[in-house]
Structure 1
């Protein structure tokens, strides 16, 4: 990343550069705007055009809404790849964050309007804005510290608290605003707080001098670009033929399926070609083995987010229609249940990190692959409570206003989100750390981009799975997720020893407490 090698003298507050708190607040308000809008999205799309107390929605079917939700959440992550490249090659992180914040303000502002063109335009602007801001603001946090600064890990932990605090505040307040003033007031609130984030960022520029500025990269033989790798594909017959087969299959999918899926297949073909070329370029068997293990870990990433992101989609819709949300005479807004994840993260992050650290100190299994497999299993068991919720609904009948015992109970959702959060804390920060341990330094940035692509694909899978509920029903979908995720987790545990051998001791020499404690809040950087 293009950051200044020489850090200017930084004024401090509580032992950290003041610039950290500027970035903390900027990211907190950005995450507020994102998670607030995300929590409303499928509910707004599925509310009938005649509306209810919250105003008219788009009147879409659940299947249509979840399809768009999948595309939206996927593109938010995928756009982080070009967003990082633009910062590195053209404008630097500081300007990228500024432009991203401005675009986000425009996007949320447009969403206040009720026209359908405004809806699509607003979503597109939010995707572009997050793509520019999200990957680069984290890089700027690292740029506040000189190499070897012992404050860095704690600084990132503080920064990631802001991510979860923004999510928590958004999901606690946006639902109340929507209940009182309607859908577009909720979208407007997301825009207002993003403006606060932008003002904070602009006002704090004096504390960010020399951080995230664009520095043209010098010719470096170790520097790798997507373009160089793709150009080498044409001189690699085997890889070219395989990529060609995938591309033909993509166009067949384009012809026989929806055009959007054709584009998705083309995108996956591009990723596959990139991975094949990286593998070919690796010059030792150790690197090749580690690369294969890394790719297998991405499978777990895709599966995890494909299940976890039901929170904003299918689970959100289930909460809205099938859950009795009355609490002491007050109906809890559906959106508020989204706050459980962020709240549980803040409560349990250091606890979970401490448990893994103690296991490692005692010589018990605590490798990254093991944590990720356990995380998938725990998250999968969370959907078991959604199975119980569906059974509860079937026995209690539809939700009837003023009738206690109708619909499914709220505590099933609380338990589901608790297990999902614990699973997330086992896999999300670990996956990011695992990339830095296994990827060759030369390809570390590229593999981080592939990680974002895998996360985005997982989000799209979540939309596809959620869509299937219209045909197969919630019980089948939730049960299927439980069975599939638990089986996948067990399979990875079963092959853990050979996979660890293929890492060639990449994790054995790491410092236990430093890494584990730093992972505590790195969770939900999603």
Structure 2
């Protein structure tokens, strides 16, 4: 036991060694996820014939599936958080998630329709068990007073995500586009196997983090979330109104979105149950957390055009010739991660300088600024769309230059660096300990809803046109971010000096 305690307290570069175990685990998990993400939509729209056949879907159908898939990937973190909070603890839940991901990516390597949908299902379940819980474990490595060190720990952890994403988009993208889509899916699975091995070997550095919290009687009574929704009038009303809207939408002819709203109804009910469970300070902080979730939905609803609409734009409407070499469209998916590796320290240093100057530097402020900057990146896509020319038959006669995409991804990256790492740390600061993994799961569920919003925008882009789609995103994100900044002062009072 003393040896385990000694290992737990060992540090590397001033941080617990457990941080670097989680760093490399997440690096390889993100290698598998982003590698598959880089080629998924391209695989779906590729023709069914030829040397490297795809599924032959329309652009709208491919983006719609991409939106549903990425939404469920992140929504699954809600039951994943409950599994950790109430049954296994975060550490064991991450292990289960990694195993499911290994199976999922392995099945995707099989060239069969059943394997495609089965593999996607396993990946959804695996990410649900792993994603929110591993982030919560990072926060658990640090004491309550180690705020600055914890923030830096999350930045280091974030680097692991982006090293994996940058490398995978290039390797998996090249193998998938040039050789065989299923070889690409298989290569992504190899990355997940490596990540699972790293996590298994690093358990000795994580023995005091991510364990199941023993609940007292009150906590056990509140653990059945489904029943708790119907025990309080406010949670019952919130659930019922949202569910009725879903039923109405279903009877109007779209049961897929009707069922989605019914799912959101449960989320609304859960959110009110968690709010009811808190004391005065916890309730105030939970309200701010819910606003942060709304910011997250808006941010990722715009940002995640990258894997769908912008991925297809790169493939179909961008001049990819670089001399005699044709750049694979999937390689642009590495731009964001590569920019993060280059600019993360600069953006972090900027906020330190900004704070020393006495300017506003709260987490909510940074998130709002991130939304604005990311939204402005779409103005470059608006300019790019004006370069594309068509003939009378609607065929493209002139494509836009690659640098427009690179500029857009640069602004998206700076916006992400302002918003996303801070949001991860912010949730761990505000969430009550007994709801820690659940609230982190809710954060990623908000990310999932943002992904679905991205899918909705992408699948309807052909009707609105590229220019108005990209311009509309720019305008909305700018206005939304400014409105959040205008209410910063009352929001800061509600967090009760939590940051």
Structure 1 equivalent of residue 251 of structure 2: 255
Cα distance between partner residues in 1 of 2:444 and 2:161: 17
Q: How does 1:2-17 map to 2 (within 5 A)?
A: 7-10=5-8, 16-17=15-16
Structure 1 equivalent of residue 495 of structure 2: 506
Following superposition, the deviation at residue 93 of structure 1 comes to: 3.2
Structure 2 equivalent of residue 36 of structure 1: 35
Following superposition, the deviation at residue 143 of structure 1 comes to: 5.4
Which shows bigger deviation, 332-341 or 9-18?
9-18
Structure 2 equivalent of residue 347 of structure 1: 342
Q: How does 1:85-124 map to 2 (within 5 A)?
A: 85-124=82-121
Whether the 8 Å CA contact 1:66–1:313 is kept in 2: the answer is yes
Whether the 8 Å CA contact 1:437–1:506 is kept in 2: the answer is no
Structure 2 equivalent of residue 134 of structure 1: 131
Q: How does 1:398-409 map to 2 (within 5 A)?
A: 406-409=398-401
Following superposition, the deviation at residue 62 of structure 1 comes to: 1.0
Whether the 8 Å CA contact 1:8–1:209 is kept in 2: the answer is no
Whether the 8 Å CA contact 1:290–1:503 is kept in 2: the answer is no
Structure 2 equivalent of residue 277 of structure 1: 273
Unaligned segments of structure 1, at least 5 residues: 401-405, 511-526
Cα distance between partner residues in 1 of 2:256 and 2:380: 34
Structure 2 equivalent of residue 490 of structure 1: 482
Cα distance between partner residues in 2 of 1:17 and 1:435: 21
Following superposition, the deviation at residue 223 of structure 1 comes to: 7.2
Following superposition, the deviation at residue 175 of structure 1 comes to: 2.0
Whether the 8 Å CA contact 2:154–2:425 is kept in 1: the answer is no
In structure 2, the CA distance between the partners of 1:114 and 1:258, relative to structure 1 (3 Å rule), is farther
Following superposition, the deviation at residue 212 of structure 1 comes to: 5.1
Q: How does 1:246-395 map to 2 (within 5 A)?
A: 246-284=242-280, 288-394=283-389
Whether the 8 Å CA contact 1:92–1:212 is kept in 2: the answer is no
Secondary structure of 1:504's partner?
A: helix
Following superposition, the deviation at residue 201 of structure 1 comes to: 3.1
Cα distance between partner residues in 1 of 2:5 and 2:78: 26
Whether the 8 Å CA contact 1:289–1:503 is kept in 2: the answer is no
Which shows bigger deviation, 100-109 or 418-427?
100-109
Q: CA offsets per residue over residues 261-310 of structure 1, 9 Å max, x none?
A: 122111111111222334445443x6555444433332221111100000
In structure 2, the CA distance between the partners of 1:196 and 1:232, relative to structure 1 (3 Å rule), is closer
- Answering whether residue 46 of structure 2 is matched by residue 47 of structure 1, we say yes
Match of 1:187 among 185, 188, 192: 185
Unaligned segments of structure 2, at least 5 residues: none
Following superposition, the deviation at residue 211 of structure 1 comes to: 4.5
Whether the 8 Å CA contact 2:339–2:410 is kept in 1: the answer is yes
In structure 2, the CA distance between the partners of 1:508 and 1:176, relative to structure 1 (3 Å rule), is same
Whether the 8 Å CA contact 1:301–1:458 is kept in 2: the answer is yes
Whether the 8 Å CA contact 1:322–1:398 is kept in 2: the answer is no
Following superposition, the deviation at residue 364 of structure 1 comes to: 1.6
Whether the 8 Å CA contact 1:94–1:211 is kept in 2: the answer is no
- Answering whether residue 68 of structure 2 is matched by residue 71 of structure 1, we say yes
Cα distance between partner residues in 1 of 2:448 and 2:162: 19
- Answering whether residue 78 of structure 2 is matched by residue 81 of structure 1, we say yes
In structure 2, the CA distance between the partners of 1:437 and 1:374, relative to structure 1 (3 Å rule), is same
Q: CA offsets per residue over residues 421-465 of structure 1, 9 Å max, x none?
A: 111111112223333454555655443332222111111100011
Cα distance between partner residues in 1 of 2:424 and 2:241: 31
What is the TM-score of this pair, normalised by structure 2?
Answer: 0.89
Cα distance between partner residues in 1 of 2:364 and 2:315: 36
Query: How well do the aligned residues superpose, as a CA RMSD in angstroms?
Result: 2.9
Match of 1:57 among 54, 58, 66: 54
Cα distance between partner residues in 2 of 1:131 and 1:297: 20
In structure 2, the CA distance between the partners of 1:203 and 1:388, relative to structure 1 (3 Å rule), is same
Secondary structure of 2:460's partner?
A: helix
Which shows bigger deviation, 389-398 or 356-365?
389-398
In structure 2, the CA distance between the partners of 1:427 and 1:160, relative to structure 1 (3 Å rule), is closer
Secondary structure of 2:110's partner?
A: coil
